[in-house]
Structure 1
């Protein structure tokens, strides 16, 4: 069994080749530029881990992992366009460097390249893999649209937000694990449990991310905290605070969101703490993490084969950065 770190290095070496032809350079160079940044590679490596839980890693798992990573990067390029983001990981975004029209086409051709990689998978697995991949791709788009819709909505329920996060973030983590498990010969029951593990872990990860953006140590977090507050993002924390706040606190929160004063972040954080939102977020994170670990526990393989995913869950959720 490999550790997550070992598989990150292994997949990085496999993926770190050119993915597009040389011409026309105006179309393909932006794609190579974006992919050259690297990244955490969490999703493709989860595919390899899903495979290795049940059997030695097969060549098809690398084709699947490549498709997942290309699809994920396609979504990032288009997300940056929608968010009008000038930078990602400190680098100029594709639409900033090459223009929005080229960025759209670069994302499109990256998605097509993902299907080229899927087409290399053995015929016995391909129908099931394609069904899950297509379902997941549509759900990610649905989650992104809900996120856009929420920006214009005055009231968003916590359940609606969790559905959006599940679609936008968690289903791809879940599908990465399940496709790997399918290629490793896992049973239907084991595939269901590994999918639910990934889905619930993804929600717990997003709760932790929202929490760190508000309450994290900026030196450990790697960026200034309070970014979500400044942008009026409807996070787990804000939705819970609006639900728990008394009339005066609610009025102040809504005023701060409208007016964006210089002291907005500390004032919002003070309301969050007064409403117990920080402690509640940690409880919610633990709830989804425990659900994830219960599904991992229910997978019918030897305990030693579950260890890498247990370690990954601890790394993703118990971090303070």
Structure 2
């Protein structure tokens, strides 16, 4: 069995979800968000984690869909807070409708996510809901830290790694831990898979930071240079600030007090400093560090190697690596 089989199962499950119909202004944005596409990585991780321990993945499908609906809820609200114009190459919900509709549609998405978790067998329901609720709160904590960082000049690289762990990586960890739990894995195997997911998640977010500066908009699906324009604390920015000389630091911080400037000029000048400091290579090295740690956890899981190799290949695809 290859990954396309499991991907098809996930997509079939997502296509059967009834989100609601009236009022249309509440539910149309929700469907728009869910139909934007995306790789469906998180529900796929849940199903693949379950497959490590049992041929039958049916018990994983509805909870896996719940993970994906929750993920899209966080993206919808994140876009509102970031005032992002694009998501997956398309107008964000608050741009296509308005901010209030985006917030309320997101709220309904969270409700629907919890409903999908109610499909878990009763003996495991309480544990699964605790895992999910803990993770959901951590994602919100990460988002709040991200917003706090916008107003602080005292953010360290370690602070940033903790923030992206909460905001992004813990949900990948949950997705894998969930699948393992649903298909009766040992606590140790479930923990190893959780750690695999968290480290892949950190590496993935660092790669996202890198693509924001060095990616192509058509492939990236978001505004290239958006983090620079928003003065977001990223691994690239924080690493550059830690290593910059006075002149370079003035460029990195000089636009903050300006109300009128060319966005293209800001992106170009900050990127030039990154290039001078070799920030791209340093970020790639950090990505590799977390990726290798993730693979070590996966290797330690007690399951058939050929089944673990499906997860390994998915991780490689996420990082766009060959080995």
TM-score calculated relative to the size of structure 1: 0.92
Q: 2:85·2:91 contact (CA, 8 Å) conserved in 1?
A: yes
| Inter-partner Cα distance in structure 1 for 2:8 and 2:308 | 20
The alpha-carbon deviation at position 230 of structure 1 amounts to 2.3
C-alpha distance in 2 between matches for 1:205 and 1:36: 22
Equivalent pair of 2:43/2:65 in contact (CA under 8 Å):
yes
Q: Which residue of 2 aligns with 1:34?
A: 33
The runs of 5 or more residues in structure 1 that have no matched partner are none
Report the more deviating stretch, 262-271 or 175-184. 262-271
- Give 2:2's aligned residue: 2
CA distance in 2, matches of 1:125, 1:171: 20
Q: For the Cα contact (< 8 Å) 2:40–2:68, is it kept in 1?
A: yes
Map of 1:231 onto structure 2: 230
Aligned residues of 2:197 and 2:294 also touching (Cα < 8 A): yes
RMSD: 2.1
- C-alpha distance 31-44 of structure 1, shift in aligned 2 (>3 A): same
Unaligned runs of 5+ in 2: none
* SS state at 1:56 partner: coil
- Separation in 2 of the partners of 1:25 and 1:224? 29
Provide the residue aligned with 1:216 in structure 2: 215
2:303 maps to which residue?
301
Q: CA deviation at 1:294?
A: 0.6
Aligned counterpart, 1:154: 153
| Alpha-carbon distance between aligned partners in 2 of 1:216 and 1:113, rounded to the nearest angstrom | 34
Moved more, 184-193 or 53-62: 53-62
Superimposed CA distance per residue, residues 180-228 of structure 1 (whole angstroms, 9 cap, x where no aligned partner): 0111211111111000000001111111121222223556546664332
Cα offset, 1:34, TM superposition = 2.4
Which residue of structure 2 lines up, in the alignment, with residue 272 of structure 1?
274
Distance 2:77 2:219 in 1: 29
Is 1:254 the counterpart of 2:256? The answer is no
Indicate yes or no: 2:165 matched with 1:166.
yes
Q: Distance in 2 between matches of 1:21 and 1:264?
A: 44
Residue 274 of structure 1, CA deviation: 2.1
Once the two structures are TM-superposed, the CA of residue 159 in structure 1 deviates from its matched residue by: 0.6
* 50-59 or 281-290, which deviates more: 50-59
1:56 touches 1:184 (CA, 8 Å); kept in 2? no
Match of residue 193 from structure 2: 194
Larger displacement relative to structure 2 (138-147 or 243-252): 243-252
How far the C-alpha of 1:8 sits from its partner, in A, is 2.3
Give the secondary-structure state (helix, strand or coil) at the position aligned to 1:40.
Answer: coil
- Please report how far the alpha carbon of residue 138 of structure 1 lies from its aligned counterpart in structure 2 after TM superposition: 0.2
Shift of 1:254: 1.4
Q: Once the two structures are superposed, what CA deviation does each residue of 1:8-48 show, in whole Å capped at 9, x if it has no partner?
A: 23311221135223333333233223222232211111111
- Is the aligned partner of 1:17 residue 2:16? yes
TM-score scaled by structure 2? 0.91
Please give the residue correspondences for 1:302-321 in structure 2 after superposition, counting only pairs within 5 Å: 302-318=304-320
Deviations 1:105-129 (A, max 9, x none): 2211211111111111101211211
